[in-house]
């Protein structure tokens, strides 16, 4: 069994340290108040047993809490007093410098929490370590100086989660939709260099990847770009290639047929599109931004975003090439084709591509084939999005959605000074999210003890806590000058403000959003009703909770003129943190706190037997009540030989839910070449990945791809998330 030290490093559990610690406290009290050696050993044994029952690695603080409780249970109050005094004294010493130990552990790669914080970050490389070190300093400053003490305490206790404290000290926002069209059509500036309108499709793709890298280095969340913004440059290249072909032919003194010229032009054009798409795929995968990871970028594929029929046909070619290349994958160190984590792809299911016989159904079949092998694209239903949001637009990364445009209809106009602004047309590209604070719903339920009246009272208190925390995020951005991130605020990614101009006007009137996240609806409802929220008798209570949070967001929006929006938080490392905090506060409660994770947002619990169509239909009603962002998924086996089933799920998505994905497996063992599913097994109380063929357990010698929170991640997850992946049941 392992334990996690305060600096985040992981060491073997040593019962003698507990015995020695109790012994030291025991030795300094009067002899008649001391415990016997038998009692001390009994306490140590009880603590060891409790740690094993947790099913995960406990922290030093958790172990010390258990020791205190056991000493008190034995009636040795004076010994307990000495033990508590010693802990407090050591805590004061540590508080004099809260970062040194953790930073040193990062540098020496001993910090297990950091290693497992983000499955797409390699904590060994210098750039990641530098980012983590800066993050530790930011957390320290944030907790000691920038946030109110009660918000810090609530965050540390897992009552709420104040996201991205490692970036809060700087004036940075969360995620956005990059206005790539404006930057390509009207030019931009990258590191003081003017980038003019590209003259070929390939150049446009290259500039797009540079923009993606710059944007990623100036924010901390996901970003999205649209292939529709690249589509006009296909015609630019077509005309340029046609002129070259005509010149080549004229030198031969030949008068060619138009069909011959068209054939040559389209052939060369297709090759340029292939190279351009390859640039995007390989650049995104290989780029390392200043935070030590590939950009969290989503590529949007929506045919009806094209502005003409010709542009739509050109966009279809780009989408086809993107799907073909993603289906192929990328080569790992051994030259084997594997599934890359980025970019994330989103394909819109539309009236003219969703059914056999429609003009672009061939793209949908290719998308299904790609999904079955590489887990992307994910799917947005044009039909449901128009019905429920009024517009069709992509999410800002893995799931966070903007609210529908209201500032245009209010006559506020082009407050971002975008070069591609069209009066009266709703605007989405160039908009962003200010940040997220998540409420731990199971904690609300458990704190109420199951009393419904008390539940709503505590819920109100926690929501107000989140409200104040979100306003801290807003106030931190308020007053930020455009100079802080020129690529975002001055050169078109989000706006074209003047140098030295504050970004404040972009924080109001719905131009940007701010998100109330939530987690663990299943556990919350299960504790309060004794049933899963899928049970018809419990579903109304679950929906009432959702409506209650939406009502709070509406009140705050009216109060501040800021678009607060309810967001189904994509817990990655936080799922483990919340679970540990619940166990610490309330103990192990079967079906509620007995896992190393809590359920993401409104999702059906991963262990619950339910078919794909029922799951999507059930979750659709909750997704509608998460306007700030949500995604549903179905867990499926290898579907490469059953594409018709994939297409059936896609058609169901089109008719029933805004945004969904299919989770399959895509693994590779670098030791023996196994390309089936790499399994999760327990080893000395810890879950690890193991190749079923050769037994390889070296995480650096395997490629595991799983979708955990919208994005695809790799095998470096924390123990809670790993357990959640292990527990998943198939829905198809």
In 3D space, the residue among 371, 192, 190, 215 whose CA is nearest the CA of residue 294 turns out to be: 215
Establish whether 181 is a catalytic residue: no
Residues 73 and 182 in one domain: no
In the set 168, 347, 522, 567, the catalytic residue is: 567
Residues 75 and 216 in one domain: no
The total number of structural domains in the chain stands at 3
Residues 104 and 74 in one domain: no
Residues 21 and 131 in one domain: no
Note the Cα 385 to chain centre separation in Å. 21
Residues 313 and 293 in one domain: yes
Question: Is there a domain that residue 692 lies in?
Answer: no
In the set 218, 400, 447, 565, the catalytic residue is: 400
- Which pLDDT value is given to residue 10? 76
Question: Is there a domain that residue 289 lies in?
Answer: yes
Contact 287, 278 (CB under 8 A): no
Domain encompassing residue 138: 97-146
In 3D space, the residue among 481, 331, 478, 509 whose CA is nearest the CA of residue 415 turns out to be: 509
- Which pLDDT value is given to residue 391? 97
- Which pLDDT value is given to residue 432? 98
**Distance separating alpha carbons of residues 191 and 218, to the nearest angstrom:** 12
Segment 206-249, tens digit of pLDDT: 999 999 999 998 999 999 999 999 999 999 999 999 999 999 98
Residues 4 and 31 in one domain: yes
Peptide bond before residue 701 is cis, with ω within 30 degrees of 0: no
Residues 182 and 326 in one domain: yes
In the set 51, 66, 396, 581, the catalytic residue is: 396
Question: Is there a domain that residue 574 lies in?
Answer: no
Across the strands, what pairs with 563?
Answer: 513
- Which pLDDT value is given to residue 556? 98
User: Which of 108, 127, 146 is the endpoint of a domain?
Assistant: 146
Residues 49 and 189 in one domain: no
In the set 51, 175, 385, 639, the catalytic residue is: 175
Residues 43 and 106 in one domain: no
User: Which of 38, 67, 96 is the endpoint of a domain?
Assistant: 96
Give the three-class secondary structure for 196: coil
Question: Is there a domain that residue 604 lies in?
Answer: no
Segment 599-637, tens digit of pLDDT: 999 999 999 999 999 999 999 999 999 999 999 999 999
- Which pLDDT value is given to residue 65? 87
- State how far the alpha carbon of 540 is from the alpha carbons of 245, 367, 531, in Å: 66, 36, 12
**Distance separating alpha carbons of residues 249 and 252, to the nearest angstrom:** 5
Question: Is there a domain that residue 652 lies in?
Answer: no
Give the three-class secondary structure for 297: strand
In the set 9, 119, 226, 433, the catalytic residue is: 433
Residue numbers of the chain with a pLDDT score lower than 50: 115, 119
- Which pLDDT value is given to residue 658? 98
Establish whether 433 is a catalytic residue: yes
Establish whether 61 is a catalytic residue: no
In the set 710, 713, 720, 724, the catalytic residue is: 710
Establish whether 400 is a catalytic residue: yes
In the set 119, 138, 143, 174, the catalytic residue is: 174
Residues 123 and 228 in one domain: no
Establish whether 710 is a catalytic residue: yes
In 3D space, the residue among 301, 328, 330 whose CA is nearest the CA of residue 317 turns out to be: 301
Establish whether 395 is a catalytic residue: no
In the set 183, 398, 466, 709, the catalytic residue is: 398
Question: Is there a domain that residue 661 lies in?
Answer: no
Tokens of 230: 């690249």
Establish whether 676 is a catalytic residue: no
Question: Is there a domain that residue 16 lies in?
Answer: yes
User: Which of 388, 421, 443 is the endpoint of a domain?
Assistant: 388
Residues 115 and 183 in one domain: no
261: CATH: 3.20.70.20
Question: Is there a domain that residue 466 lies in?
Answer: no
Establish whether 654 is a catalytic residue: no
Residues 222 and 348 in one domain: yes
In the set 78, 272, 572, 661, the catalytic residue is: 572
Per-residue DSSP letters for 207-272?
A: HHHHHHHHHHTT-SS-EEEEGGGTTHHHHHHHHHHHHHHHHHHHHTT----HHHHHHHHHHHHHHH
């Amino acid at each position: 069994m392992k334990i996690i030290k305060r600096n985040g490093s992981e060491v073997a559990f040593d019962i003698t340290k507990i015995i020695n610690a109790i012994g030291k406290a025991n030795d300094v009290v009067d002899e008649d108040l001391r415990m016997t050696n038998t009692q001390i050993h009994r306490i140590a044994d009880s603590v060891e047993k409790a740690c094993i029952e947790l099913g995960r690695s406990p922290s030093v603080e958790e172990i010390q809490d258990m020791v205190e409780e056991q000493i008190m249970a034995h009636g040795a109050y004076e010994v307990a007093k000495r033990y508590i005094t010693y802990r407090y004294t050591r805590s004061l010493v540590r508080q004099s410098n809260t970062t040194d130990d953790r930073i040193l552990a990062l540098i020496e790669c001993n910090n297990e929490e950091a290693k497992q914080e983000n499955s797409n970050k390699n904590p060994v490389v210098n750039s990641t370590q530098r980012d983590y070190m800066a993050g530790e300093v930011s957390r320290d400053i944030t907790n000691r100086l920038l946030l109110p003490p009660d918000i810090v305490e609530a965050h540390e206790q897992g009552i709420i989660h104040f996201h991205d404290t490692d970036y809060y000290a700087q004036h940075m926002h969360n995620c956005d939709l990059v206005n790539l069209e404006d930057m390509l059509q009207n030019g931009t500036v990258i590191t003081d260099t003017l980038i003019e309108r590209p003259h070929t499709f390939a150049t446009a793709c290259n500039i797009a990847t540079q923009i993606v890298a710059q944007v990623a280095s100036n924010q901390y969340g996901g970003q999205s770009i649209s292939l529709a913004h690249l589509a006009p440059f296909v015609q630019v290249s077509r005309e340029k290639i046609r002129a070259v072909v005509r010149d080549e032919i004229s030198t031969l003194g030949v008068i060619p047929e138009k069909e011959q010229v068209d054939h040559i032009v389209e052939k060369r054009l297709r090759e340029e599109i292939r190279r351009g798409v390859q640039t995007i795929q390989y650049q995104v995968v290989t780029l390392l931004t200043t935070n030590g990871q590939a950009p969290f970028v989503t590529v949007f594929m929506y045919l009806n975003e094209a502005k003409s029929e010709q542009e739509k046909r050109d966009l279809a070619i780009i989408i086809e090439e993107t799907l073909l290349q993603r289906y192929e994958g990328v080569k790992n160190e051994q030259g084997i084709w594997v599934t890359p984590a980025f970019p994330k792809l989103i394909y819109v299911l539309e009236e003219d591509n969703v059914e056999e016989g429609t003009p672009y159904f061939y793209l949908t079949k290719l998308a299904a084939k790609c999904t079955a092998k590489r887990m992307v694209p994910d799917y947005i239903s044009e039909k449901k999005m128009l019905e429920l949001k009024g517009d069709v637009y992509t999410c800002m990364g893995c799931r966070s959605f903007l609210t529908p445009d209201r500032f245009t209809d209010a006559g506020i106009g082009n407050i971002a000074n975008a070069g591609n602004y069209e009066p009266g047309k709703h605007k989405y590209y160039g908009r962003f999210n200010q940040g997220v604070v998540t409420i731990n719903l199971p904690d609300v339920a458990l704190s109420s003890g199951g009393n419904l009246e008390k539940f709503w009272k505590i819920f109100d208190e926690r929501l107000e806590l989140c409200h104040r925390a979100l306003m801290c995020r807003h106030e931190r951005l308020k007053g930020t000058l455009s100079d802080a991130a020129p690529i975002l605020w001055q050169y078109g990614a989000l706006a074209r403000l003047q140098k030295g101009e504050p970004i404040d006007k972009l924080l109001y009137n719905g131009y940007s959003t701010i998100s109330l996240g939530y987690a663990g609806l299943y556990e919350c409802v299960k504790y309060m009703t004794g049933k899963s929220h899928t049970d018809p008798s419990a579903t109304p209570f679950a929906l009432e909770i959702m409506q209650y949070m939406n009502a709070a967001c509406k009140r705050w929006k009216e109060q501040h003129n800021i678009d607060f929006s309810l967001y189904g938080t994509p817990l990655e490392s936080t799922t483990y943190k919340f679970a540990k905090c619940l166990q610490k506060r309330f103990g192990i409660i079967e079906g509620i706190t007995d896992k190393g994770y809590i359920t993401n947002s409104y999702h059906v619990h991963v262990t619950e037997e339910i078919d794909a169509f029922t799951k999507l239909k059930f979750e659709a009603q909750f997704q509608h009540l998460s306007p700030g962002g949500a995604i549903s998924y179905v867990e499926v086996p290898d579907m490469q030989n059953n594409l018709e089933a994939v297409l059936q799920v896609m058609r169901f998505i089109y008719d029933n839910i805004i945004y969904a994905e299919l989770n399959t497996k895509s693994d590779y063992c670098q030791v023996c070449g196994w390309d089936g599913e790499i399994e999760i097994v327990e080893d000395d109380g810890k879950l690890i990945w193991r190749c079923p063929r050769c037994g390889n357990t070296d995480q650096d010698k395997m490629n595991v791809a799983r979708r955990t929170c919208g994005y695809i991640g790799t095998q470096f997850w924390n123990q809670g998330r790993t357990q959640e992946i292990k527990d998943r049941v198939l829905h198809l």
